[in-house]
Amino acid sequence: MRQSGIVSFFDAIPDPRRGEGQRHDKTFILLLTLMSIMCGANGYRAVGDFIKTNRAALLRSFKPHKDRLPSFDTVRRLLISIDFNQLSDAFYAWAKTKVRLRKGEWLSMDGKALGGTMSNYKGPQQRFLILVSMYCSRSGLSLALSKVDSSKQSEGAVVPALIEALGIQGVVFTLDALHCQKKQ
């Protein structure tokens, strides 16, 4: 059986919620979240606004149980509880079915600090989360993501590990100056 739709990859992610009281399927919530992000939503409330704004079309297209759509609170609770690495792995597995890398192709990797994640503002060791992404210039797609907690590791250590874990060979990686340091 060949799986190619992202829904089948979302289905493979374990649902961290308890079974009692669930009104909305985890995969349905992830699909709505992805759709809203693709339309420019940035944050839980924006995802909720997307769902409200497109309610009629979403009900018509997906025909959810009892014509109910998740609120931004439901989306938020699921996204907070879902394992980032499992979601990232599922996304990468799906992306591999859609993007065929050619020998000599250019992939860009960079990390960006996530707004609103900083703590210990005045201390010598500020703590924040960094999202490292791998981007394919030809297809215009992000192929992989990795989350970095600045208090535990650095972007410089995560990038080589991500490249090695993905097993990508024969391509050219572009990285910023942070990755041009000699090991000490």
pLDDT band at 55, cuts 50/70/90? very high
pLDDT on residue 60: 96
Question: How many structural domains comprise the chain?
Answer: 2
Q: Last residue of some domain: 50, 82, 114?
A: 82
Look at 22-36, 38-52, 128-142 and tell me which has the smallest mean pLDDT: 128-142
| Boundaries of domain holding 166 | 99-180
- Claim to verify: residue 59 and residue 109 sit in the same structural domain: no
Look at 4-13, 69-78, 97-106 and tell me which has the smallest mean pLDDT: 97-106
pLDDT on residue 98: 79
pLDDT on residue 1: 35
| Residue 2 pLDDT exceeds 60 | no
Question: Cα–Cα distance between 64 and 174 in angstroms, integer?
Answer: 44
- Claim to verify: residue 123 and residue 71 sit in the same structural domain: no
- Claim to verify: residue 108 and residue 133 sit in the same structural domain: yes
% of the chain with per-residue pLDDT over 90: 33
- Claim to verify: residue 17 and residue 71 sit in the same structural domain: yes
- Claim to verify: residue 173 and residue 109 sit in the same structural domain: yes
- Claim to verify: residue 22 and residue 58 sit in the same structural domain: yes
Order of strands across the sheet that contains 172-174? 141-149, 129-136, 106-113, 172-174
Helices (H), ranges, 3-71 = 6-11, 26-38, 44-53, 55-62
Look at 9-23, 46-60, 140-154 and tell me which has the smallest mean pLDDT: 140-154
% of the chain with per-residue pLDDT over 70: 92
List pLDDT tens digits, range 83-137. Answer: 988 998 888 888 778 778 888 888 999 888 777 677 766 766 777 788 888 888 8
Q: Last residue of some domain: 48, 82, 116?
A: 82
Burial class (CB in 10 A: 0-12, 13-18, 19+), 87: middle
- Claim to verify: residue 114 and residue 170 sit in the same structural domain: yes
Handedness of CA 95, 137, 144, 182 (dihedral sign): positive
Mean of the per-residue pLDDT values of the chain:
85
Q: DSSP letters of 135-166?
A: EETTTTEEEEEEEEETTT--HHHHHHHHHHHH
| CA 86 to chain CA centroid, nearest Å | 10
pLDDT on residue 4: 65
Looking at the DSSP bridge assignments, the partners of residue 131 are: 112, 147
Looking at the DSSP bridge assignments, the partners of residue 129 are: 149
Is there a domain that residue 136 lies in?
A: yes
Residues 47/32, Cβ–Cβ less than 8 Å:
yes
Q: Last residue of some domain: 82, 116, 141?
A: 82
- Claim to verify: residue 113 and residue 42 sit in the same structural domain: no
- Claim to verify: residue 168 and residue 123 sit in the same structural domain: yes
Whose tokens are 């797609």? That residue is 141
171 token code pair? 């391509």
List pLDDT tens digits, range 128-167. Answer: 788 888 888 888 878 888 888 877 887 788 888 888 877 7
